Structure 1
């Protein structure tokens, strides 16, 4: 049975990429939300009662409980349509969703290995991620945002990963300047600054 809250509540990890992605969307939309930072190793009982998977982030909007960042962020974009974070036209929307899938499948999978894998696995994943970013770097010079003139859910998915590159030991060479310029644009946005937890701020201090 879902708990009822008078305001929207987000159960969030303070360092988790998926939680950060969700917080960026909330900040971009200017949504009033009570963010509860949770120790994923010691979750509160009320989270256990509403999310059978006990995963973060978890969003509670009155009687509705959602988990999985992709589901939460698309719900928020539909529930609060301004500013829109998905393109208007079906083909462009599909391409944006496909890019999000690729970010999750290709890059975030490697980051998970860097964070949780054995040393040799982490080293290989770090090298792989660096190589992929070098290869794709020219794409970032084609538009202000990721394959788009406008800030989208794909950028919300990508920004937390890029923010963590330094702390993950992934150093980008000079030929990835388009990515560096893109990162500067993302990190300068008020919504991105507002989305950061204290622990996330410390990652680049």
Structure 2
């Protein structure tokens, strides 16, 4: 059985929880206090971070790597496209999400209003605004098909209030898109008690 070591307020861990609940397979989640991590976390991941997935003698870290493994190991429902060209494009999107959006999160976790935090909020806001036109026509990032792209960005969209990020009116398609994701049963199941209170 797969075991996921998951931070209770970690957006990267929530990505993996979301995938596991979408698959509805047997798994165990071990909640980790990221401010007081047990020693074995650094043994399993030399960077000392969660999420970490363990299955028998396999140990994986980094949320996108974990999620692709789960999707290949349990292919129904399929979250990565079967077409190799589309799959490559999704991976490129995921990479861009990390560089333009999620790379700013660690600055926001400090919960202050210094110059770095304000810049991080602006970077995320501008990056999300650029996605709005795609979602004015599509139900999900890849059209009608729910995919790994939607799973990847969902934890950030859930935390916008918590991070102090306000979206303008022209981002309304993005907000409607977020509500579609948040209404999924797997997403609701993926939330920890601490995450549920992050959003008004």
Equivalence map 1:25-104=2 (5 Å): 25-104=19-98
Match of 1:138 among 117, 133, 138: 133
**Structure 2-normalised TM-score?**
0.93
**Partner-residue secondary structure (3-state), 2:163:** coil
Offset of residue 138 of structure 1: 1.1
Deviation at 1:118, TM superposition (A): 6.6
Q: Distance in 2 between matches of 1:104 and 1:128?
A: 12
- Hey, what's the Cα distance between the residues in 2 that align with 1:48 and 1:102? 27
Q: Given the superposition, is the C-alpha separation of residues 69 and 180 from structure 1 closer, same or farther in structure 2, using an over 3 Å criterion?
A: same
Alpha-carbon separation, structure 1, partners of 2:128 and 2:43: 40
**Of 164, 180, 193, which residue of structure 2 is paired with 1:198?**
193
- 5+ residue gaps, structure 2: none
* 1:21 lines up with 2:15 in the alignment: yes
TM-score (norm 1): 0.91
Partner of 1:173: 168
Q: Which runs of 5+ in 1 are unaligned?
A: 1-6
Structure 1 partner of 2:148: 153
Comparing 38-47 with 165-174, which one deviates more in the overlay? 38-47
What is the CA deviation profile of residues 101-128 of structure 1, one whole-angstrom value per residue up to 9, with x for unaligned ones? 1111101112222224871111122123
* CA–CA separation in structure 2 for the residues paired with 1:128 and 1:52: 29
Question: In 1, Cα distance between the equivalents of 2:4 and 2:15?
Answer: 12
**2: CA distance, partners of 1:109 / 1:48:** 21
140-149 or 27-36, which deviates more: 140-149
Task: Count the aligned residue pairs.
Answer: 199
CA distance in 1, matches of 2:116, 2:68: 33
CA contact (8 A) 2:11 2:156 kept: yes
